[in-house]
């Protein structure tokens, strides 16, 4: 039996009867503590849980390799009309990031629509990115989940296929206590370098400084992607904790006035070279002001809707969107083309002229 068929069969057996252990053996009391809710069955975390980690993987990257990155792009995932990944377009996007000066990419994050992927797709895309580009750019895989067991399992798989670091948020929707948050992050930190992402507008719960401070001494704690603002960033930088701005409209001042390491950016999908300049070439209020209309436009609706629209109008990926995302209305599509003209087409990725697409040009899929 092919390995992937065996895995699917074993998974089906466990889901059908949670008391069964793998390989058809009767479940011991310990194996019956297996959690089967979610996208795959995962082992319960106990005090003697051993992370599935590799010494060779640990040699490949370190926390210091991550904390030195100034520009990390939360990269878009493009699709074919039948809903599968458009790897040719994806590879082009990654190459554009490398050429533009980005030092890292977030794979399958919010911008990359990891929440719309199966775990098979998710881990495959992380592995593909590492295999094709891992010697030229750091690959940070989103392996978060609001289930601690699922987050541990996905993170193990992500590091096994070669990612350099993991991105994790606090459990969302089914929110937990401060102690629960700390325990959640402590369960995933042993796997490898980790960036914790604080975005209360999406998770519904702020990761307060005492949580980050409690985790900051862990050898794999690389830092925080912080969306609360400048004062929170300064709170961490004053304590020697690495922090990236999660707000493109604030990242210039966060970097040069409040001590942020850099930015984890959406805007750099479109203008990586200009975002690199913003993070590397000192204070530049003029460039920051020039980019603000684009940044404001990119967040006129929830991310990644505007970015999906923008890239399609630049002719880079096909205009295919996975539901529940739909394109921006016509007046916003027209506005984007004007913004491109104002900044200069030469600063944007792609070779085609920016153009206004019609409603019927966009394909919505629910795969």
Q: Which fold has domain 63-282?
A: TIM Barrel (3.20.20)
pLDDT of residue 58: 58
Q: What are phi and psi of 140, to 5 degrees?
A: -110, 115
Are 122 and 154 within 8 A, CB to CB?
A: yes
pLDDT of residue 335: 98
Averaged pLDDT for residues 8-24: 39
Q: Is 197 a residue of the active site? A: yes
Q: Domain spans of the chain?
A: 63-282
pLDDT of residue 19: 37
pLDDT of residue 198: 97
Model confidence at 55, pLDDT cuts 50, 70, 90, reads: low
Of 63, 76, 138, 225, catalytic = 225
Residue 37's contacts (CB-CB under 8 Å, 6 or more residues apart) are 147
pLDDT in tens, 144-172: 999 999 999 999 999 999 999 999 999 99
- What percent of the chain clears pLDDT 70, i.e. is strictly above it? 83
pLDDT in tens, 328-353: 999 999 999 999 999 999 999 999 99
pLDDT at 43 over 90: no
pLDDT at 245 over 50: yes
Q: Is 351 a residue of the active site? A: no
pLDDT of residue 51: 61
Are 114 and 142 within 8 A, CB to CB?
A: yes
pTM equals 0.85
Of 79, 90, 197, 258, catalytic = 197
To the nearest whole number, what is the mean pLDDT of the chain? 88
Structure tokens at 266: 């959406």
pLDDT in tens, 91-135: 999 999 999 999 999 999 999 999 999 999 999 999 999 999 999
pLDDT at 230 over 80: yes
CA angle 240, 227, 126 (to 5 degrees): 90
What is the spatial distance between Cα 86 and Cα 78, in angstroms, rounded to a whole number? Answer: 5
pLDDT of residue 238: 96
Smallest CA-to-CA distance from 161 within 188, 184, 143 is with 143
pLDDT at 34 over 80: no
What is the spatial distance between Cα 183 and Cα 115, in angstroms, rounded to a whole number? Answer: 23
* Helices (H), ranges, the chain: 3-16, 55-60, 63-67, 87-100, 119-133, 148-160, 178-188, 200-203, 209-215, 230-237, 251-257, 272-280, 285-298, 305-313, 330-343
pLDDT of residue 49: 58
Are 149 and 44 within 8 A, CB to CB?
A: yes
């Amino acid at each position: 039996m092919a390995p992937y068929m065996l895995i699917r069969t074993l998974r089906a057996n466990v889901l059908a009867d949670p008391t069964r252990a793998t390989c058809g053996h009767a479940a011991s009391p310990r194996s019956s503590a297996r959690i089967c809710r979610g996208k795959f069955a995962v082992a319960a975390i106990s005090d003697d849980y051993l992370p599935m980690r590799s010494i060779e993987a640990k040699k490949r990257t370190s926390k210091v390799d991550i904390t030195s990155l100034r520009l990390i792009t939360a990269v878009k995932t493009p699709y074919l009309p039948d809903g599968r990944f458009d790897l040719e377009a994806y590879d082009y996007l990654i190459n554009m990031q490398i050429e533009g000066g980005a030092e890292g990419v977030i794979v399958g994050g919010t911008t990359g629509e990891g929440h719309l992927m199966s775990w098979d797709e998710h881990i495959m895309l992380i592995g593909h990115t590492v295999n094709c580009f891992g010697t030229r750019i750091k690959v940070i895989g989103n392996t978060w989940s609001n289930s601690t067991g699922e987050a541990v399992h996905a993170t193990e798989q992500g590091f096994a296929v070669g990612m350099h670091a993991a991105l994790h948020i606090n459990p969302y929707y089914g929110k937990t206590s401060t102690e629960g948050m700390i325990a959640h992050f402590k369960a995933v930190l042993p796997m490898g370098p980790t960036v914790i992402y604080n975005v209360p507008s999406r998770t519904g719960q702020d990761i307060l400084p005492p949580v980050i401070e409690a985790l900051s001494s862990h050898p794999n704690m690389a830092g925080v992607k912080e969306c609360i603002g400048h004062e929170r960033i300064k709170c961490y930088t004053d304590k020697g904790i690495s922090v990236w701005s999660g707000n493109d409209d604030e990242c210039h001042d966060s970097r040069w006035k409040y001590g942020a390491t850099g930015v984890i950016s959406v805007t750099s999908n479109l203008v990586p070279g200009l975002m690199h300049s913003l993070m590397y070439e000192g204070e530049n209020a003029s460039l920051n002001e020039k980019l603000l209309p684009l940044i404001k436009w990119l967040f006129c609706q929830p991310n990644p809707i505007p970015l999906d629209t923008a890239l399609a109008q630049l002719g880079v990926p096909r205009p295919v969107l996975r539901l529940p995302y739909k394109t921006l209305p016509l007046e916003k599509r027209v506005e984007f083309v004007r913004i491109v003209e104002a900044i200069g087409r030469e600063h944007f990725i792609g070779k085609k002229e920016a153009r206004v697409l019609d409603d019927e040009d966009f394909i919505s899929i629910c795969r």
